Amino acid sequence: MIKNKCGVVLSLVLVLGMVFTAGCGNTRAAGEDNNPDSLTIAVVIKDMYLDTAVKKFEELHPGVRVEVKEYTSSTSEKGEGVRAADPGDIEKYVTAMNTQLMSGQGSDIILLNNLPYQTYADKNLLVDLGGLMQSDQSFDSNKYYQNIFEALEYKDKLYGLPVNIGIDMIAADRTLLADSQALIDDSIWDWNDFVKTAEKVMNDKQNGGTQEMYALAGMDEKRLIATLVKENYDKLVDPEKKTANFTGQEFLDLLNLSKYLIDHKLVNTDTAQTNIMDMAARGKLVFNFTSLRGFWDLQVAKAIFSEGVQLLKPPGNVFFSTDSMYGISSKSANQELAWEFLKFLVSDDMMTQGGMPINKSVLPQIARNFTQAIQKNGGVMRIKDDGIPAQSITLQPPTQEDVEYMENLLSQAKVYIGTDQKIISIVQEETAAFLTGQKTAEATAQLIQDRVSTYLNE
């Protein structure tokens, strides 16, 4: 969900080796040199996990060369030597992949995030990984969360293999909820309950005063509507049937919800991570959208809400996303080697490095590795935004209860938020006039419906 992704720069005192972004720049026909010992991987920007995997894979397979092609001009960093993907680079990557794949060119392995990979699948441009799993006796599917594979299937086939996932959650200030006697059953609540709870807590805390307090922070208008759409994407877009449902009551309610939150100043639009931390620490923030991508995020949420945090699933199912899902080009001449590399990406050896793994057996080891890493520095982490002094928080080692909590979440993750960046951009563009009162919700919804329907059927 909204893991405060855009524009945030994290400066970490610890290097935990748990950063999963996506990463790769040039072009070539898939398998163009017909070298059976050569692989190319296309990504927006290379991350530490992929870089480590490439080095280890080449060590295990002498003579094999793996080239990662980055499609970025970014030099900015979001952590210790970790470059941040620029939104413009993502658009360039999508355009480049569309052109290459449609012309039968490109890399052997492709980062599928932000790409309309269902369209590629319909045109037989991607390999069915599910078929490879079934025919490969060395691959034990039972080691992995089958619910995640099933959620990623398109027309009963699996075209993308996620290296790690993020499970969208809403972090709530446990003390504020308790003081207002606000009990939340996240198995049945809806967005109206979300608003009513936030307003009750804020009114009780302010007690008729005007002290600063918000239901949400860290998002402007564009980020807010994008988040709400992503959380309800499976109800709004059906990529398999190539249909959209933006004129239904569900989306109209989301439009009105976003406008209500903004007009009633329930959202602080300062997107700086340090601002969110400060407000949460002072008891001025009721909720915060987050994406759990490992113990790092879980312990950060606990540290930010220092008086106690309650993690809630958003209204609906347990949603998950991924920022590192890979597929194999059907035009690749080295599909067998490409599959060997993907298997290595999700092996025990690689998955113990961190994140939210799809491999069932590695979470306890990840917790131990995390504990060792933070203990070296006393658990201190510094969070910094451009032009703003850094703030420090202290992380605690994950407990056995934390491990079991994460394992339970992973087993419940059954709905994949596979948003298409083009559709999100359309929604953001067309809702601008609505949020400023220039267009009605119905007119806005119709414009989005028409544009998305046209796009889906191009």
Residue 100 is assigned to a structural domain of this protein: yes
Q: What is the pTM of this model?
A: 0.82
Same domain, 224 and 88: no
Residue 118 is assigned to a structural domain of this protein: yes
- Phi, psi of 165, rounded to the nearest 5 degrees: -130, 165
The mean per-residue pLDDT over the stretch 361-370 comes to 94
Q: Please measure the distance between the N-terminal and C-terminal CA atoms of the chain and give it in whole angstroms.
A: 28
3-state secondary structure of 244: strand
pLDDT the model gives residue 178: 95
Q: How many domains does the chain have?
A: 2
pLDDT the model gives residue 239: 87
d(Cα 85, Cα 76) in Å, to the nearest integer? 8
d(Cα 164, Cα 401) in Å, to the nearest integer? 21
Question: How would you classify residue 450: left for phi > 0, otherwise alpha for psi between -120 and 50, otherwise beta?
Answer: alpha
Residue 363 is assigned to a structural domain of this protein: no
Same domain, 90 and 137: yes
What pLDDT band is residue 369 in, cutting at 50, 70 and 90?
very high
Mean pLDDT of the chain: 86
Same domain, 292 and 438: yes
pLDDT the model gives residue 22: 35
Share above pLDDT 90 across residues of the chain, in percent, rounded to a whole number: 62
Whether the per-residue pLDDT at 33 is higher than 80: the answer is no
The mean per-residue pLDDT over the stretch 23-29 comes to 41
Question: How would you classify residue 308: left for phi > 0, otherwise alpha for psi between -120 and 50, otherwise beta?
Answer: left
Q: At what angle do helices 249-263 and 221-231 cross, to 10 degrees?
A: 150
Whether the per-residue pLDDT at 378 is higher than 60: the answer is yes
253 Cβ contact partners less than 8 Å away, ≥ 6 residues apart: 191
Same domain, 315 and 185: yes
Same domain, 251 and 327: no
Same domain, 159 and 222: no
Instruction: For 204-236, give the DSSP string.
Output: HHHTTS----BSEES--HHHHHHHHHHHTHHHH
Q: Which of 148, 24, 155, 39 is nearest to 92 (CA)?
A: 24
Whether the per-residue pLDDT at 8 is higher than 80: the answer is no
Residues 203, 332: contact at Cβ < 8 Å?
A: no
Same domain, 185 and 306: yes
Same domain, 118 and 190: no
Residue 289 is assigned to a structural domain of this protein: yes
Query: Which of 334, 351, 368 is at the close of a domain?
Result: 351
* Six-digit token string for 407: 């394992």
pLDDT the model gives residue 214: 93
Same domain, 136 and 255: no
Same domain, 92 and 219: no
Q: What domain range includes position 81?
A: 38-165+322-351
Residue 377 is assigned to a structural domain of this protein: no
What pLDDT band is residue 17 in, cutting at 50, 70 and 90?
very low
pLDDT tens digits for range 155-187: 999 999 999 899 999 999 999 999 999 999 999
Residue 401 is assigned to a structural domain of this protein: no
Residues 168, 417: contact at Cβ < 8 Å?
A: yes
* Six-digit token string for 231: 């959380």
Whether the per-residue pLDDT at 132 is higher than 80: the answer is yes
Residue 89 belongs to a domain with what CATH number?
A: 3.40.190.10
d(Cα 336, Cα 317) in Å, to the nearest integer? 36
Residue 24 is assigned to a structural domain of this protein: no
Residue 382 is assigned to a structural domain of this protein: no
Same domain, 173 and 187: yes
Same domain, 422 and 304: yes
- Phi, psi of 19, rounded to the nearest 5 degrees: -85, 120
pLDDT tens digits for range 277-332: 888 888 899 999 988 999 999 999 998 887 799 999 988 778 899 989 999 999 99
